[in-house]
């Protein structure tokens, strides 16, 4: 299951994904993709009317009732968790990603065990993987990411996976969703998930094939890339994705 966190007005981003990794056909596997959006509080706006038409055309959008802006990313993430927990509870894995990422689903599936529950290792049952950070809160007064001592009093974050792209096994998603119901809201979604993971005893696993920055492209450099951030140029994403995935059959 692919969960794409998208902004309301990002129509071209979604169309580009539908032409690339959202259209991968994996022999022997079923891969579904949904785009998760918030609202702008203007039910009759031009943007909302376009989204209504997009929903009718593609049937791949879930629109949730919260105002969609940067500091509500944790709300978007956890409402997405709740939706897949309630409506798509049988997927082996869940890939959560932003709508400006390069993704290779084939490379991801090559990297993952065929079935997480087939492993005898608890950590693989509870897989939470992506690019893992080990860092400290920013206390600078004018920083976009400033966190006060009142908001978070410790001097280190728990290990967390950057929010651009990460994967959860079925069991990990269920455990983390239930755990989140008992963890206080925090405005940075990747750190919030790190806090939840620590509370429920899941250790985030670093995967070197996920890049939180835009990795310079060459066919050799992208041979093992699962995810790379920063693809705002839609033509570039289509070109790179097709060059790296042309050997795979597309429906």
Give per-residue pLDDT as tens, 61-98: 999 999 888 778 999 999 999 999 999 999 999 999 99
- How far is Cα 114 from Cα 145, in angstroms, rounded to an integer? 38
pLDDT of residue 122: 45
pLDDT of residue 115: 56
Report phi then psi at 193, rounded to 5: -65, -35
**Which option is the CATH number for 2-245: 3.30.420.10, 3.60.140.10, 3.40.50.150, 3.90.550.50?**
3.90.550.50
Res. 25 pLDDT band, cuts 50 70 90: confident
Q: Which of 21-35, 51-65, 75-89, 216-230 has the lowest mean pLDDT?
A: 21-35
- How far is Cα 178 from Cα 85, in angstroms, rounded to an integer? 9
As given in the structure block, the two tokens for residue 185 are 């809201």
pLDDT of 246 over the 90 cut:
no
* Mean per-residue pLDDT over the chain, rounded: 91
Sign of the Cα pseudo-torsion (177, 151, 97, 197, in order): negative
Crossing angle for the helix pair 73-87 and 189-200, to the nearest 10 degrees? 50
- If you average pLDDT over residues 147-167, what whole number do you get? 93
Pairing status of strand 128-133 against strand 160-169? antiparallel
- If you average pLDDT over residues 16-38, what whole number do you get? 92
Q: Which of 125-129, 141-145, 173-177 has the lowest mean pLDDT?
A: 141-145
């Amino acid at each position: 299951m692919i969960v794409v966190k998208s902004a309301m007005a990002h129509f071209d981003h979604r169309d580009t994904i539908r032409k690339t990794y959202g259209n991968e056909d994996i022999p022997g596997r079923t891969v579904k993709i949904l785009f998760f959006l918030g609202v702008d509080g203007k039910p009759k706006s031009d943007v909302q009317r376009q989204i209504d038409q997009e929903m009718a055309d593609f049937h791949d959008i879930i629109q949730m009732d919260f105002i969609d802006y940067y500091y509500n990313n944790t709300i978007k993430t956890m409402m997405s968790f709740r939706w897949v927990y309630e409506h798509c509870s049988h997927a082996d894995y869940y890939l959560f990603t932003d709508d400006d990422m390069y993704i290779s689903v084939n490379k991801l599936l090559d990297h993952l065990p065929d079935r997480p529950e087939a492993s005898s290792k608890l950590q693989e049952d509870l897989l939470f993987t992506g690019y893992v950070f080990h860092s400290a809160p920013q206390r600078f007064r004018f920083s976009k990411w400033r966190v006060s001592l009142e908001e978070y009093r410790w001097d280190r974050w728990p290990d967390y996976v950057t929010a651009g792209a990460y994967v959860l096994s079925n069991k990990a998603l269920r455990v983390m969703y239930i755990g989140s119901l008992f963890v206080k809201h925090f405005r940075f979604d990747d750190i919030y998930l790190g806090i939840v993971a620590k509370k429920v005893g899941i250790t985030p696993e670093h995967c070197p094939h996920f890049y939180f920055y835009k990795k310079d492209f060459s066919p050799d450099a992208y041979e093992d890339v699962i995810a790379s951030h920063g693809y705002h140029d839609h033509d570039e994403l289509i070109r790179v994705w097709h060059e790296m995935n042309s050997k795979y059959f597309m429906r």
